[in-house]
Structure formats: structure tokens, C-alpha cells
Amino acid sequence: MTRVTQQTARIVFFISAAASAMAAALVFGFLLVFGFPLIGGGEFFSLLARPWSPGQGLYGFLPMTMGTAAISFLSIVFAFPLSLGTVCFMGGLGPARISRLLDGFVRFMTGIPTVIYGFLGIFLLVPVVRTLFTSAGSGMCILSASLMLSLLVSPTMIIFFKDGFDSVDFRYIRAADALGADSVQRLIYVILPGAWPGIVTGVIMGLGRAMGDTLIALMIAGNAVHVPGSILDSARTLTSHIALVSASDYESLAFKSIFACGLTLYVLNALAVIAVRRLGRKRGQV
Amino acid sequence: MFERIRTGIIKKTGIAAMSLLAGLAFFLVSAQAGAIDSFNGLSGEIRISGGTAHIPVMKEAARQIMTANSEISISIAGGGSGVGIKQVGEGIVDIGNSGRAPSDAEVEQYGLNLFKWAIDGVGVAVNPGNPVISLTKAQLKDIYSGKITNWKDLGGKDSLITVYTRDESSGTRAVFWKKALDKGDIVSSANFVVSNGAMKTAVANDPNAIGYVSVGHMDASVAGVALDGVFPTIDTVKSGEYTVARGLYSNTKGDPSGLTKLFIEYLLSPEGQQIVVQKGFVPVN
């Protein structure tokens, strides 16, 4: 009886694992097939380097690729110290009661829909950015979007960082204590190195969320179609571009070009994951 | 029964015939008393999406109908003219609204029927605090193409102009681009917003903004700018003095039937046209 149950369980779990792996591959295949008219003609690579101006027959998405890169990278730059600081506080530097409260709050934050952040951004953050920096124009810019986005990705990063912290072998911590390390030394020399894999995973997940999010950038980055020159420039991400263009005529070239756009996002995301893993591994060896 | 235009067949030569048809349609519709009574005893759902300029009228019409008959539910979504045309063509919604006449290709592909129930102007809007209240068409084109970048060149204060525009699926954008900018360039640093409502919010909150909204959406939160001396108001749109104007269309796939047909008849009835006037648009009749 238990043998049969085990066998069934194995099959069920294999199917679900295979299905989710297949889904990722299928999405990639789907994008390839639909983007093929552009890729096959060798046009794909010129699209990567061209501006977007459908009126003149230009369907490139260099500005959006730059927009996505700038906004997601900057949001991680803001979110990383914030998240790491929070986790250090929760993982030994702060009082346990407050840490538990903070933990619950962070978990609650992961559930806040992104449109709420976008909405808050329009009414609270954008006017502040506009008044602080006169060259920011409307206040809808990379800075506003990445600040808001860092709020969105921090809870994800905190949860993964905390998992990393919790996975550090307790005996090492005891050993450090026995050697007379204070809480800061314990954190820097024992916990942080041990938690490194969790930190790398957290950054990857955060980056993935930042790159994949559509609404915050759509609502407060301004969506201009030029290559941004500063963090106070209005910019459009690949995701908002897809959202904006998919509303246009299905038969238009503009619409067809967004498959290539999706492919670029997919590849960009994969590259970011690989890059972070590489960086993480090097650090781990030291 | 009502105005039915197939742009693929009736082109410019048919304008006289169309207005005759419209007149006839109005006569017939107005002959039946209380278009809202025709919903009596019916039940079901009407799904509407598309043009964002249409929404105030759609909401009010839906409210009237659903108040009179609680068995009918009407859902209204935005998305822009392109979305409306596409969704009705694919049978996702019953009525797809558009702020431009669907192209011949779209009519052909989806077998659309067009019903024009209002005329709407697209007005240039700035923040109410902006002293610039009048522009020439040439100045407007220079602002949108990025040649004029500071309000001081237009008699305003010394600050950079933030240009706002709409996404490609917007009918408001299509009309503005064609009739106000003469299909001229829009500077690539322009900010994009996704609805008439969002445009109004953006312009109302940004002291250096310039944008364009449906005249029906204009209120005290934004200031309409005169174009070549003509302010965008219902009166100037109606008289034809203000030329940046378009029809508001509701499109159906094939001939409308059932509730969808009644809804369009209601829009074209005196009660429906009253809502059109009340929401700041020019009635077709």
C-alpha cells in the first residue's frame, strides 16, 4: 500500500515539476516563434539598437531596454542596503519583540498589490521629486519609479535574506560567542558569510520582480520613448512598452515587434540571473 | 432604424447620404416614446470597452438603464479605441467604443457596424496656474516636436515644458496628431499617459505640463488653451469653429441585436443625447 502511495506521489510530483519547467520553456518557444519574422530576417539585432518611432517605421526598443536596465538596477541599489539592514536588525542586532513585529509586517508587505504603490507614487512621491529637482520636469522619472519599486522588492529580498540568516549553523554562532565575539563581529564574520547563498538568491528574486513589474513604471516613470540620459529623465521599461503597445492594432508592425520585445526581456532577465550568480560564486570562494 | 455607417463602402461621397440617414434615424427614434421603456422586462448583460472619452456618457447611460431595470447589468471598461475595436471584433465585448472611425481594414476584418452618437473636441490643456492661455498652431507643433522647450518663449515663466501625450491606441491621440499637429513629430522625451482621466490628473498636478484631453473631460482642474484664437469649448466645437474634433463611435460586430441594439438605440434617443449634452459633448442630432 505505502509502495503504491509513494509511487503515485513520485509521479504526481514529477508531473508538476515537469509542467512548471515546460511552461518556462514553452514561453520562450512561443516568443521565438512569434518573433521569428523579425529574428529570421536578421532584423532582431537592429531592433535592439534602434529608437521607437512607429510614424517613421522604426520599431526598435533600445530606449526601453535601457529603461528596464536603469530602473531595475537602481531599485536594487536602493533596496539592497534597506533589506540587508532590516535583516541584520531582525537577526540579532535588534530586540526580539520588535523583530517579530517587523517580520510579520514584511510578510504582509509582500501581499500589497503593485498598483497601490503606483497610485501612492503618483500622489505622494512624484510631487516631492518634482519640487526637489527642478530638472526632473514632471517628476515622473527613473528616480521616482526605482524608489517606489525598491519598496516593492524589499520584502521579497528581506524574506530570502532572512532564510539565509536562519540557515547558518547554530554551532558556528555558539563558537563565535564562546570566543567572545560581540553581536556586530558575530554578524560580520559568521552570519553574513554563511548567509551568502541566501543573499544572492534574494537579489536574484528582487531583480526578477523589479524587471518584471509593469504597473509602477507604467504609472510613474513617464513612459517617454527616448534613451534616458539621467535618473531624472522620463523612461519607458520593456514591460510598460508591451502593455502600451499591445493595446494597439493587432495587425500592425508595432504589435508584432513586441514579441521581440518580450524575448529581449526574457533574455535580459536570464542574463541578470546568471550575472548575479557569477558574482555571488566569486564572493563565496573568497 | 438607426445610423449605420460602413466606412468601407460609404466614403466621402456618402457624407450627404449619411447625414440624411442620421436625420431619418433621429426622426424615427424620437417618434417612439421613452427609449428606456424598451428595456422593460428584459434581463442580461452588456459588456462595453474601449475609448476612454466615452466613459462618462457610458456610465450615465448604464446607471439610467440599470436603475430602471435592475435585471440588466452593464460593465464598462476603458483601454483605448484600439482595444475597443479589437475586443468587439473578437467577440470579447458586445460594444467596442472608439474615438475615431475604425479603419477600412478593421471594418473589413471584423465586420464592424459603426454608430456615431456624439462629436467631441480635443483641446490643448495646461495647468490652471499657467499664464499661457493661447497658442498658435505653429507654436503647438513646435512644442510637441521639441523645438520650443521653455514656457518663457511663449510668454510664461522660466521653466521647462513637460509634454504629455497618449499611447498609440488612443483615439484622442489619433485626432490630435492628425488635426492639431498635422501629423507632425512628437518629441521622444514626451511623457505617456494611458487615459483621458490620467491626462487630466497629470496636467492638473504638474505646473509645467501641456497635454490634450477630450473637451467633455475638461473641468476647472485644467485650463483649456485657445488654438489660433479659438478656445476648445462645446460651443466652438458645435459651431465648427474649433476644428480639432472627432466623432465618438460605438461599434458592434455585425448587426447589433437584443440588449446591445437597445443600448445603442438608447444612446441615439433624445434621452441618450441629453446625457451626451450633459457630459459636455456635442450631440449628433
Nearest-Cα distance to chain A for B232, in Å, is 24
Closest CA in chain A for residue B170: A248
pTM of the predicted model as reported, rounded to 2 decimal places: 0.74
* Residue where the block lists cell 512548471: A20
Mean pLDDT for the stretch of residues B122-136: 93
What per-residue confidence (pLDDT) applies to A133? 82
Q: For an interface test with B, which of A130, A223, A242, A257 has the most B Cβ atoms less than 10 Å from its Cβ?
A: A223
B168–A244 C-beta distance less than 8 A: yes
Nearest-Cα distance to chain A for B194, in Å, is 8
What per-residue confidence (pLDDT) applies to B2? 41
Nearest-Cα distance to chain A for B280, in Å, is 27
By Cβ distance, the residue of B103, B109, B191 closest to A138 is: B191
Residues of A in contact with B206 (CB under 8 A): 130, 137-139
Give the model confidence (pLDDT) of B68-83 as tens digits: 888 899 999 888 888 8
A256 interfacial to chain B (CB closer than 8 Å): no
B37 interfacial to chain A (CB closer than 8 Å): no
What per-residue confidence (pLDDT) applies to A161? 93
The answer on pLDDT for B285 being more than 80 is: no
- pLDDT < 50 regions, chain A: 284-286
Nearest-Cα distance to chain B for A155, in Å, is 29
A244–B209 C-beta distance less than 8 A: no
Give the model confidence (pLDDT) of A169-198 as tens digits: 889 888 988 998 888 888 888 888 889 889
Q: How far apart are CA B137 and CA A129, in angstroms?
A: 32
The answer on pLDDT for B204 being more than 50 is: yes
B224 interfacial to chain A (CB closer than 8 Å): no
- ipTM of the complex model: 0.73
A247–B83 C-beta distance less than 8 A: yes
The continuous run of DSSP H or E covering A58 comes out as: strand A58-59
- Confidence band, pLDDT 50/70/90 cuts, at residue B28: very low
